[in-house]
């Protein structure tokens, strides 16, 4: 697996391998590498991802015999509940999402809107006037 900041070696067909640190990958096809020893282009060069080999220890790689079936949700037996109960993933994360509210404190006092998203004590409210989304504390809202 090629990740940002991983150390790799470039293995071209006809020359000696150049080592470098991955700066960026573009569409899983090109890799931008950096090496301080190279003077041109500030030490940055571009290669194809297929011509790279990782310098990471081989112990970090996934073994061919490793059982990955436990990570596949399609192969894991369902745990409890009726088939088709659909309890998971139904509806919004918070019951307040979609609720019509009035702003009772602050700069937008008196405005009505709908809660679009919540994050703990903070809510994102889409105001009816101007179709503007504001971030405001829930304690400054009144449910209508």
Would you say residue 80 lies in a domain?
Answer: no
Cβ neighbourhood burial of 117 (10 Å; 0-12, 13-18, 19+): middle
What domain range is 40 assigned to?
7-58
Would you say residue 87 lies in a domain?
Answer: no
Q: Looking only at Cα atoms, what is the longest distance across the chain?
A: 73
Would you say residue 75 lies in a domain?
Answer: no
* b/e sequence 45-61, b meaning 16+ C-beta within 10 Å: bebeeeebebeeeeeee
CATH code for the domain of 133: 2.30.30.30
Would you say residue 46 lies in a domain?
Answer: yes
Would you say residue 1 lies in a domain?
Answer: no
- Tell me: pLDDT of 61 over 70: no
9, 13, 52, 71 from 55: Cα distances, Å: 7, 18, 10, 27
pLDDT value at residue 107: 92
Would you say residue 18 lies in a domain?
Answer: yes
Q: How many domains does the chain have?
A: 2
78-124 per-position pLDDT tens digit:
666 555 555 555 655 788 899 999 999 999 999 999 999 999 899 99
Would you say residue 124 lies in a domain?
Answer: yes
């Amino acid at each position: 697996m090629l990740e940002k900041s991983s150390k790799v070696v470039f293995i071209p067909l006809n020359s000696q391998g150049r080592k470098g640190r991955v700066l960026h990958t573009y569409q899983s096809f090109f890799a931008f590498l950096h090496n301080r020893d190279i003077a041109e282009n500030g030490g940055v060069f571009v290669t194809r991802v297929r011509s790279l080999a990782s310098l990471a220890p081989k112990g970090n790689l996934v073994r061919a015999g490793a059982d990955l079936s436990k990570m596949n949700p399609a192969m894991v037996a369902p745990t409890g509940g009726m088939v088709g109960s659909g309890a998971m993933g139904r509806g919004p994360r918070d019951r307040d999402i979609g609720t019509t509210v009035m702003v009772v404190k602050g700069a937008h006092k008196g405005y009505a809107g709908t809660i679009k998203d919540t994050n703990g004590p903070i809510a994102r409210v889409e105001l009816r006037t101007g179709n503007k989304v504001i971030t405001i504390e829930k304690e400054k809202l009144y449910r209508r």
